[in-house]
Amino acid sequence: MKMTFRWYGEDDSVTLENIKQIPNVTGVVSAIYDIPVGEVWPIERIQELKKVIHNAGLELEVIESVPVHEDIKLKRNDYQRYIDNYKETIRNLAKCGIKCICYNFMPVFDWTRSSIDHQLADGSYALVYYKEEVDQLDPTKLSLPGWDASYSVEEVSELIEAYKIQGEEGLWENLQYFIEEILPVASACDVNMAIHPDDPPWSIFGIPRIITNEKNLDRFLNLYDDIHHGLTLCSGSLGCATFNDMPKLIRKYGAMKRIHFAHVRNVKLLADGSFEESAHYSSCGSLDMVELMKAYIETGFEGYIRPDHGRMIWGEKGKPGYGLYDRALGAMYLGGIIDALKGK
């Protein structure tokens, strides 16, 4: 497995020098964040990003992510132009040595939480999802990391209504069209496309979500028969629902060689269906991290892996979920599990 670490570019409070000092991390997962969604990523910009990372002694082989424009998800307006642009971005990334592209098909909002700085019992700060609080939120007035802040209140309201009208089956139809358009390009370029599951894996604010459970993951993979059509399997996103058995999912899709990217983190599940993001250490949450890593090893997974969201600890300030210290501890913990299971 190739241990990687997400980096948000030159403005990230976590520097490449910091990441380089984490012993078992060899690569960075990043993106170009100032190109408008739907526009082509120029080769020159990709090369610039790669050069900065390589000069720090790290690899860039995974992009997380190339966002999918809402027009594609709704199959309206300029959707075909945006799909054609997406194809060209795949080609450009391939020319620069990118092997894997992480993306998602979540309508309007990416990962959703009720708080990004909730203080846990140990004094650390974490992302949490308390159902009662989420139910009281007004989605048109929210701004959380991972959400596109470029939309006005009116635009968000219109998007939410459009997705409600479209429904789950409409979203499935548009995802299938998108996949059938881009996968021939990805396959020809030998780039793995790895969809990220919805986070959390259930409908929020009445908006449909479809990459949520085993049945739907099966349906997704059956949309296109090609090894390049695969998953970013996120234990935190899928694992925050009791209906998802993470070791089982890893073994199933790992055996099929359809896991291209692994996000590994722990979550503490609460009785009412809420959850708190916890330290990676197994006993801090509800997931057995040793069993998860055993499943990856038993299926021969040799792809990219990264510690996912971390808490803010030791007084650190930074992008919620993406500080240095707790994610570095997570990388070392996962690396230790891997070495122990392999008998090193």
pLDDT 10s digits, 233-282: 999 999 999 999 999 999 999 999 999 999 999 999 999 999 999 999 99
Residue type for position 64? E
Catalytic residue from among 102, 234, 240, 284: 234
The string of pLDDT tens digits covering residues 153-207 is: 778 888 989 999 999 999 999 999 999 999 999 999 999 999 999 999 999 888 9
Q: Reading across the β-sheet that carries 267-269, which strands appear in turn?
A: 115-119, 125-129, 275-277, 267-269
Q: Which two tokens stand for residue 255?
A: 């055996």
pLDDT score of 324: 98
CA-to-CA distance for 231 and 243, rounded, in angstroms? 18
CA-to-CA distance for 9 and 29, rounded, in angstroms? 10
Residue type for position 19? I
Q: Where are the alpha helices (DSSP H) in 190-324?
A: 214-221, 235-239, 246-255, 289-298
pLDDT score of 142: 62
Catalytic residue from among 125, 309, 325, 333: 309
Catalytic residue from among 69, 118, 196, 260: 196
- How many Cβ atoms sit within 10 Å of the Cβ of residue 81? 14
The string of pLDDT tens digits covering residues 81-135 is: 999 999 999 999 999 999 999 999 999 888 888 899 999 999 999 999 999 988 8
| Mean pLDDT computed over 323-327 | 98
Q: Is a pLDDT exceeding 90 seen at residue 327?
A: yes
229 is catalytic: no
pLDDT score of 154: 79
Question: Are the beta carbons of 30 and 6 closer than 8 angstroms?
Answer: yes
What crossing angle do the helices spanning 289-298 and 325-342 adopt, rounded to 10°? 50
**DSSP bridge partners of 101:** 63, 193
The string of pLDDT tens digits covering residues 137-150 is: 877 766 555 455 56
pLDDT score of 137: 80
Question: Are the beta carbons of 42 and 65 closer than 8 angstroms?
Answer: no
196 is catalytic: yes
308 is catalytic: yes
Closest alpha carbon to 293 in 244, 344, 260, 334? 334
pLDDT score of 149: 58
Q: How wide is the angle at C-alpha 233 spanned by C-alphas 230 and 235, nearest 5°?
A: 170
The residues spanned by each domain of the chain are 2-342
Q: What is the dihedral of CA 266, 268, 269, 274, to 10 degrees?
A: -110
| Mean pLDDT computed over 282-306 | 97
CA-to-CA distance for 159 and 342, rounded, in angstroms? 48
- Determine what percent of the chain is predicted with pLDDT higher than 90: 88
Catalytic residue from among 12, 71, 199, 308: 308
135 is catalytic: no
Q: Where are the alpha helices (DSSP H) in the chain?
A: 16-20, 43-55, 70-74, 79-95, 131-135, 153-189, 214-221, 235-239, 246-255, 289-298, 325-342
CA distance readout (Å), 202 to 42, 126, 150, 172, 318: 35, 21, 24, 15, 28
CA-to-CA distance for 297 and 292, rounded, in angstroms? 9
Q: Is a pLDDT exceeding 70 seen at residue 291?
A: yes
Catalytic residue from among 125, 163, 253, 322: 322
322 is catalytic: yes
Which phi and psi angles does 144 have, rounded to 5°?
-125, 155
CA-to-CA distance for 178 and 224, rounded, in angstroms? 11
CATH classification for the domain delimited by 2-342, as one of 3.90.950.10, 3.40.50.300, 3.20.20.150, 3.50.50.60: 3.20.20.150
pLDDT score of 157: 85
Question: Are the beta carbons of 339 and 297 closer than 8 angstroms?
Answer: no
280 is catalytic: no
Question: Are the beta carbons of 95 and 101 closer than 8 angstroms?
Answer: no
pLDDT score of 179: 98
Residue type for position 246? M
The number of residues making up the chain comes to 344
Catalytic residue from among 130, 263, 326, 333: 263
- How many Cβ atoms sit within 10 Å of the Cβ of residue 340? 12
Q: Which two tokens stand for residue 19?
A: 């990441």
